[in-house]
């Protein structure tokens, strides 16, 4: 997902704000950097007071705008989800207004003030979009499949893949995109995992899936344990390419036993994928 640069400053009396944001999917954080030129203020101290006052009034709006282009699921960005749900918008505005800056500093030329903010995807942002109290159970198989007890699920999804339903010949592959509420299907389009199958406690803890761009997946041992099942994506799916298809035989091994289905309920799923680079901040 491209990083968001606010298309225009947030205007107000005395001082103008510009902001840039980036999502760290591997850490589950959203970072926002807000800057303002001191301009005609008589002193840096006076400018800082005006800057902090403007931040207090505008950070909720800046936060929401930074979320707009993040994929919520396969067919909606967060902005698209908010267009029909004023309660969600108010909840996000409230969250944005409650977070204080990590630091505020003046550059070496004494001409620009900068404030940095960090927002947690989990639990803060995902909890606003989690609507269930109890998960529904993943599908249990009606036939026997040989399997073993796994400690987690790892899916390799770097590079580009056919888009299911749109690119049957694989001539126009596209990359997978991280999202807040992704899904996993098998190659016959049977649903394997989604957020509503997961216990809210675990969604709050670490989100629907974990994301990393390194193949050293055992660095995520807390989530996936020492003996995960490893597979490769076969295709991407959805308007925003946020869902993955995995082989049927792998899906069956996951769904074959209560212990392995519990991996879904606890969100013990890690996706190895390409992640957007962070912006350069002057």
3-state helix, strand, coil in the chain (%, to 5): 30, 25, 45
The tens digit of pLDDT for each residue in 150-182 reads 999 999 999 999 999 997 777 889 999 999 999
Measured between alpha carbons, how far is 125 from 136 in angstroms, rounded to an integer?
22
Residue 282: the pLDDT is 47
Q: Are 266 and 202 in contact (CB under 8 A)?
A: yes
30-58 residues labelled b (16+ CB within 10 A) or e (exposed) = bbbbbbbbbeebeeeeebbebbeebbeeb
Distance, first Cα to last Cα, the chain: 22
What is the structure's pLDDT at 13? 57
Distance between CA 47 and CA 134 in Å, rounded?
50
Tell which phi-psi region holds residue 165, choosing left (phi > 0), alpha (psi between -120 and 50) or beta: left
What pLDDT score does 46 carry? 86
Comparing CA positions, the residue from 108, 104, 106 lying closest to residue 38 is 106
Instruction: Compute the CA torsion angle 70, 76, 78, 84 (nearest 10 deg).
Output: 170
Task: Judge contact between 211 and 26, C-beta under 8 A.
Answer: yes
- Identify the segments of the chain with pLDDT beneath 50: 1-12, 280-282
Q: How many CA atoms lie within 13 A of 176 on its CB side?
A: 28
Q: What is the pLDDT of residue 179?
A: 97
In 142-270, alpha helices (H): 200-206, 221-224, 248-255, 258-265
**pLDDT at residue 186, rounded to an integer:** 97
What is the largest distance, in Å, between two alpha-carbon atoms of the chain? Answer: 77
For 191-212, how does the pLDDT look when each residue is reduced to its tens digit (9 = 90+)? 999 999 999 999 999 999 999 9
Take residue 152 and report the two structure tokens written for it: 């987690």
- Classify burial at 86, counting beta carbons within 10 Å of its beta carbon; exposed 0-12, middle 13-18, buried 19 or more: exposed
pLDDT in the model for residue 230: 97
pLDDT at residue 5, rounded to an integer: 39
**pLDDT at 123 (0 to 100):** 95
Helices (H) and strands (E) in the chain, counts: 8, 14
Which residue ranges make up each domain of the chain?
18-129, 153-272
């Amino acid at each position: 997902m491209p990083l968001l640069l606010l298309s225009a400053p947030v205007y107000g009396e005395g001082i103008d704000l510009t902001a840039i944001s980036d999502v760290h999917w591997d850490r589950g954080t959203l970072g926002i950097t807000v800057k303002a030129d001191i301009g005609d203020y008589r002193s840096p101290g006076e400018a800082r007071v005006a800057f902090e006052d403007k931040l207090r009034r505008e950070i909720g709006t800046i936060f929401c705008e930074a979320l707009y282009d993040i994929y919520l699921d396969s067919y909606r960005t967060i902005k698209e989800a908010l267009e029909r749900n004023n309660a969600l918008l108010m909840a996000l505005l409230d969250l944005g207004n409650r977070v204080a800056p990590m630091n505020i500093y003046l550059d070496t030329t004494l001409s620009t003030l900068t404030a940095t903010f960090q927002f947690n995807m989990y639990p803060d942002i995902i909890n606003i979009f989690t609507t269930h109290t109890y998960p529904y159970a993943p599908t249990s198989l009606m036939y026997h499949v040989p399997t073993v007890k796994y400690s987690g699920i790892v899916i390799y999804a770097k590079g580009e893949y056919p888009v299911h339903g749109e690119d049957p010949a694989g001539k126009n592959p596209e990359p997978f995109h991280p999202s807040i509420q992704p899904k996993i299907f098998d190659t016959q389009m049977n649903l394997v995992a989604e957020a509503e199958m997961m216990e809210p406690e675990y969604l709050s803890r670490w989100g629907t899936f974990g994301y990393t761009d390194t193949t050293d997946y055992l660095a995520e041992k807390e989530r996936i344990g020492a003996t995960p099942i490893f597979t490769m994506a076969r295709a991407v799916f959805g308007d925003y390419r946020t869902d993955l298809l995995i082989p049927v035989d792998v899906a069956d091994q996951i769904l074959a036993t209560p212990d392995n289905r519990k991996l879904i309920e606890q969100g013990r799923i890690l996706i190895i994928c390409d992640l957007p680079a962070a912006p350069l901040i002057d």
